[in-house]
Amino acid sequence: MSTKQLLKTGLLVILMGGCAGHTQINVQSVAPAPVSSNVDQQFKQLMEDDWQYTMETYPDFASYLGLGNDELNSRWRDMSLEALHQTNLHYQDTLKQINAIDPNQLSAGDKTNYQLFKWQLEMSIEEHKYKSYLMPIDQNQGVQTLDDMANFVSLSSVKDYENWLTRLEKIPKLLEQNQTLMETGISQGIMPSRDTMLRIPAQIKKQLVEQPEQSLFYKPFANINDSIAENEKARLQQQAKSIITDQIVPAYGAFYEFFVEQYLPATRASHGLWDTPNGKASYEQKVRYFTTTELTPDEIHQIGLDEVARNHAEMDKVMEETGFDGTFDEFVNFLRTDPQFYYETPEDLFEAYLAISKRIDPEIVKLFGKLPRMPYGLKAIPDAVAPDSTTAYYNPPAADGSRAGYYYVNLYQPETRPKYEMEVLSVHEAVPGHHLQLALQMEMDEMPAFRRFLNFTVFVEGWGLYSERLGYDLGLYKDPYSRFGQLTYDMWRSIRLVVDTGIHYKGWTRQQAIDYFKANAAKSEADIINEIDRYISWPGQALAYKIGQLKMLELRERAQNELGDKFNIKAFHDTLLGSGSIPLSVLEANIENWIESVKSSK
């Protein structure tokens, strides 16, 4: 499961970062004071206890990180209403404990940890009150895609397979819990948009097989590790077939019936969060949460309009460079329809992605002094979800070193995957984008666990989008079409600011958003529709990319202007990434401190 897919297991607040209540974190607001080892130890113990609670409460996440034990690796998260309520009470109790600690008595390093830890607790508590957990699935992830978890758990020993089988036996209970959440959502009017939910029946149907060997859940058992004895293989395979036939398929059948007959008819005809209980307030919180700023939806909408206009001007110049004789709309249609810009087969598309990645890798040393130890690989997005998935995504490595990072690419309908977007996509998702940043962060052993493994979207995705500009420094975008592809991706994230706020705050319809996207970007219509439906399902998340990138570009320009010949791009990037994923205000303070230290050096 991707980081995105973990969101619907209950890790939305913890994983993605953001804010609630006190939006700006000012690390300089805590006055220096003598260090008290007792207070430091008390705080460290509180962080450690909460991390252990996180692993126990979110066993899916523990398995994903490679930190699970046999008990954790054999169960799913408890998604009952009572369990969700108890988790919220835990966060409230932990917040009381952290408020009882005087941050002035902490060591310098723990002052930042204190602020970030407290902030995450506050946003968890505020997120809970808007009851987004009553909409537990969407077209990109949920209980209909539980089989994908097998890609991220260790399956090398008999015990590993037995743990996985135990987990499979608990799927009917998890489906029941999700159904209860959805039924509660119906009764309280907290419902998703019908247009996105219409995609899900076909996804659930993929779990309704006639023969157990056809099940997506059987795939790990079809090719069991050769180190396992044949008699054990046969036993595990037979047990998997029995669980699939007797438990999993009937449970999904009942869930399908509920979804089609009760849930789907009750979904909203509207698209935006504004049309839900406390919808506008909920969206305002998500804007603060995902951007780590005090920007309002209206301010972000205007930033988006300005960035769209800027990108248009640059795209017009590139279009002229190609010698195309026609309007912008005609040029975009040419890019969408001319066969020269597309591969004919999924295999050719995959090989081209692989070649691009290998071309980028050796160039990274030009821009970074510190690189991660963990490598990354390339995989295709699973066929079961590819039609409803985005163009690509990245999954970080396992914390125990048992799994590399992986850059997943969508090979579905290669005739809709433009060649001129492949370079910019690769620098965003792999290196110097997500893999470099997240793998480095996971290797920061000196930081507490919550900072190594949990992220602020505005930093992670801001870095990914900032990395797209680094493609020029890496020798990419040699031809005008690839440059147009880079601008298309930048335009894409600019458009997000407009359409996300439009849909969820200004009452735009789905079709309005699709039309605006099509009028301003060269992405294929299939990609555009998938993107718009993603924004509908994940209010506010798409704002983080551009807001984070703009701050990073601003800080780089400031550093270059103030340091002149003393500016070193490797040192700048090492400083920018050196504290892991952090809110933008903390990032700005870090860079300002670095600028001053360089100025004062001889």
Residues 175 and 228 in one domain: yes
Residues 187 and 219 in one domain: yes
Gap between the Cα atoms of 87 and 95, Å rounded = 12
What per-residue string of b and e applies to 61-85 under the rule 16 or more CB within 10 Å gives b? bbbbbbbbeeebbbbbbbbbeeebe
Residues 321 and 257 in one domain: no
Q: Hunting for tokens 């992405």 — which residue is that?
A: 523
Residues 388 and 260 in one domain: no
Q: What is the DSSP string of 64-120?
A: HHT---TTGGG-----SHHHHHHHHHHHHHHHHHHHTS-GGGS-HHHHHHHHHHHHH
Is residue 145 in some structural domain? Answer: yes
Q: Hunting for tokens 């969820």 — which residue is that?
A: 504
Residue 371 in tokens: 């690189």
Residues 128 and 182 in one domain: yes
Residues 109 and 257 in one domain: yes
For the whole model, what pTM was predicted?
0.87
Q: Which of 547, 565, 595 is the last residue of a domain?
A: 547
Q: For helices 279-291 and 544-563, give the axis angle rounded to 10 degrees.
A: 30
Write the CA distances from 556 to 399, 467, 562, 573, 584, integer angstroms: 31, 12, 10, 9, 13
Note down the domain range covering 91.
Answer: 3-21+32-192+194-267
Query: Contact, 142 vs 36, CB < 8 A?
Result: no
**pLDDT value of position 496:** 97
Is residue 530 in some structural domain? Answer: yes
- 461's enclosing H/E stretch is helix 457-470
**pLDDT value of position 22:** 28
Q: Could you state, in chain order, the average pLDDT of each consecutive group of 10 residues for the chain (602 residues)?
A: 38 32 32 59 95 96 92 97 97 97 91 92 93 95 94 92 98 98 97 96 96 97 93 98 98 98 97 95 94 96 98 95 93 92 97 96 96 96 84 89 93 94 96 97 92 92 97 96 95 97 97 94 84 95 97 98 97 97 94 96 80
Main-chain phi, psi angles of 193, to 5 degrees: -75, 140
Residues 228 and 330 in one domain: no
**pLDDT value of position 37:** 65
CB atoms within 10 A of CB 491: 23
Write the CA distances from 592 to 108, 188, 431, 517, 563, integer angstroms: 17, 47, 26, 37, 11
**pLDDT value of position 200:** 96
Is residue 570 in some structural domain? Answer: no
Residues 229 and 295 in one domain: no
Gap between the Cα atoms of 77 and 84, Å rounded = 10
Residues 257 and 299 in one domain: no
Number of domains composing the chain: 2
**pLDDT value of position 2:** 41
Is residue 107 in some structural domain? Answer: yes
Is residue 274 in some structural domain? Answer: no
Residues 252 and 291 in one domain: no
Q: How many residues does the chain have?
A: 602
Provide the Cα torsion 247, 251, 253, 259; round to 10°: -170
Residues 338 and 223 in one domain: no
Residues 39 and 160 in one domain: yes
Q: Which of 498, 525, 547 is the last residue of a domain?
A: 547
